Amino acid sequence: MRIVRLSLLFIAKNYKVNIPFMLILTFALSVFLVSVIFKEVSIKSVISVLDRSGHMLVVVPTSAVEEIEKTGDVIFTNSFIPEDSLSAIASIYDKAIEAGWRRKGGFVSQPGIGEGGKAKEVLQPPTWSPRLYQYAKVKGEKMVVAGVDFRKEYEVRLWWDLKDGMWPFDIADSYAALIGENVHEKMKLNVYDTITINNTPFKVYGILKRIGTEDDNMIFIPLKTAQNIFNKKGLVSMFAVRAMCDFCPVGDALIQINKSIAGISVLSQQDISKAQYYFREVIYKYLQYIGLTVILFTITMLYLLAGWYISRNAKDLALLKAFGAKFSDMLMFISINILLLTLLSSLLGYALSLAIVYSVCSISNIYFLYTLNLYHILLSNVVGLAISFISVFLRLLKFSKMSFIKLYNYGGTTYG
């Protein structure tokens, strides 16, 4: 009980050491946890997008593929496809899908396919949705503006949902706008607000719910209007097509279109998600290296701080030693204080790491999908205790070897 009482007196007396100890440890744990939490968020984000859009293909200019593969970002503003090329692309797609079904025997046992296996008689025609991407200054901010056919986008991107307002295809307005939720929050835009794009006013009719893709950061306007105001008549940046059946052989279509038409490339959502994952892996590795470096630096800093901490209480340790206390008793004397500080630092570090990861995700356009994880809290505590006790143990080991007289004359006492 005396050891516990002295330990609590330690906490009260040593606030000048405790505060920097907690700040250093909190920062170190937050940086360490950032890499762990970021990886989990990244994987969940990629899986979430794949679950929603796994059967979607995108047709892009071949010149844009390298950029997409580097970043996983399908937004590009300097490469285009002639809009009238869609008929040739769609024709190859339809033939490849039908041939794929015939090669597989039509999957006649699957519900909805029907007897006879004639794919073109039972399959719903796919919907092709074009997009034109351009950058524009909106309320002083550089924003991505996407020209789209709202009805077709709604049919292709089945995961689209409204946070507020109405769908622009429900009204006949060539100057209607739909905005992502991030745009709504960042620019303080609401339904029925007016925005100016390339000196042209548009009215916001709807706000998309956040979905974890680049759509969260876009402003959508009618395709024809976008082509006019950006002087891109007859051009689009990409076409998206979603297979209208769960087992459609979209891989066959991808191969046939890539083989048949020069200047364009077809990518699956799996290709895009793979590029996104590799890009995020690079960020993760950098964060991991930073985290390990910070931990090593923290151990050094806490080792030095522990010297100050112990020297302030050297007389108490000397008295414990005089009364026959062993090294383990002295370690317990210090440990109660260290344990309380570390547990508090671990919780603060966990909270700070979530804030950092959220900021990184916002900058990198990654959907922050995360739920409270007790494993991460436990990991924060374990790593925090390991750092603390390694630093203090090494320092205390040095002091424990001093004689009573030398230790007593080394520093102060809890009792002043």
At 236-289, the pLDDT tens digits run 998 988 765 656 667 777 778 778 888 888 877 666 666 666 666 777 777 778
Torsion of CA 93, 99, 104, 106, to 10 degrees: 90
pLDDT of residue 397: 67
Domain that holds residue 173: 55-269
DSSP string, 79-125: --EEGGGHHHHHHHHHHHHHHHHHHTGGGTTSTTT-TT--HHHHSPP
Give the max Cα distance, the chain.
99
Residue 112 has pLDDT above 70, yes or no: no
pLDDT of residue 218: 92
pLDDT of residue 220: 97
Instruction: Determine what percent of the chain is predicted with pLDDT higher than 90.
Output: 19
- Give a yes or no: residue 397 inside a domain: yes
Q: Where are the alpha helices (DSSP H) in 313-400?
A: 314-322, 327-364, 374-400
- Give a yes or no: residue 243 inside a domain: yes
- Give a yes or no: residue 330 inside a domain: yes
pLDDT tens column, 57-77: 888 888 877 766 665 566 777
Instruction: Determine what percent of the chain is predicted with pLDDT higher than 70.
Output: 63
241 and 381 assigned to the same domain: no
CA distance 368 to 181: 13
pLDDT of residue 82: 92
- Give a yes or no: residue 415 inside a domain: no
Q: Provide mean pLDDT across the span 73-102.
A: 80
35 and 83 assigned to the same domain: no
240 and 347 assigned to the same domain: no
Residue 28 has pLDDT above 70, yes or no: yes
pLDDT of residue 26: 84
CA distance 335 to 237: 63
75 and 132 assigned to the same domain: yes
254 and 393 assigned to the same domain: no
215 and 232 assigned to the same domain: yes
Of 337, 300, 343, 341, nearest to 316 (Cα)? 337
How many domains does the chain fold into?
A: 2
pLDDT tens column, 333-380: 666 777 777 888 888 888 888 888 888 777 666 666 666 778 888 888
**Least confident among 21-25, 85-89, 259-263, 268-272:** 268-272
Rg (CA), the chain: 31
pLDDT of residue 92: 84
pLDDT of residue 292: 79
CA distance 76 to 134: 8
Q: Which of 246, 269, 292 is the last residue of a domain?
A: 269
pLDDT tens column, 296-337: 777 777 776 766 666 666 666 666 666 665 656 666 666 677
Q: Which of 269, 302, 331 is the last residue of a domain?
A: 269
Q: Cβ distance 291 to 35 under 8 Å?
A: yes
Which residues, 6 or more positions from 59, have their beta carbon under 8 angstroms from its beta carbon?
81, 89, 238, 239, 240, 241, 257, 264, 265, 266
pLDDT of residue 277: 64
Most confident of 50-54, 198-202, 259-263, 325-329: 198-202
Q: Which residue has the higher pLDDT, 16 or 86?
A: 86
Which residues, 6 or more positions from 71, have their beta carbon under 8 angstroms from its beta carbon?
275, 276, 279
- Give a yes or no: residue 414 inside a domain: no
- Give a yes or no: residue 413 inside a domain: no
- In this prediction the pTM is 0.62
Residues written for the chain: 416
Ramachandran assignment for 259, one of left (phi > 0), alpha (psi -120 to 50 degrees), beta (any other): alpha
Residue 148 has pLDDT above 80, yes or no: yes
95 and 189 assigned to the same domain: yes
Average pLDDT over the chain reads 75
Sign of the torsion formed by the C-alpha atoms of 99, 102, 103 and 109: positive
Q: Where are the alpha helices (DSSP H) in 123-188?
A: 150-156, 181-187
Of 139, 211, 213, 212, nearest to 177 (Cα)? 139
Please, which pLDDT band fits residue 35 given cuts at 50, 70 and 90?
A: confident
Please, which pLDDT band fits residue 121 given cuts at 50, 70 and 90?
A: very low
Q: Which of 216, 238, 269 is the last residue of a domain?
A: 269
pLDDT of residue 107: 44
Residue 194 has pLDDT above 80, yes or no: yes
pLDDT of residue 409: 60
358 and 403 assigned to the same domain: yes
pLDDT of residue 236: 95
Most confident of 8-12, 225-229, 335-339: 225-229
pLDDT of residue 96: 78
Q: Provide mean pLDDT across the span 18-43.
A: 78
- Give a yes or no: residue 78 inside a domain: yes
Q: Which residue has the higher pLDDT, 119 or 94?
A: 94
259 and 214 assigned to the same domain: yes
Q: What are phi and psi for residue 226, nearest 5 degrees?
A: -65, -45
84 and 27 assigned to the same domain: no
pLDDT of residue 124: 64
Q: Cβ distance 225 to 178 under 8 Å?
A: no
- Give a yes or no: residue 416 inside a domain: no
262 and 189 assigned to the same domain: yes
97 and 241 assigned to the same domain: yes
Q: Cβ distance 187 to 139 under 8 Å?
A: yes
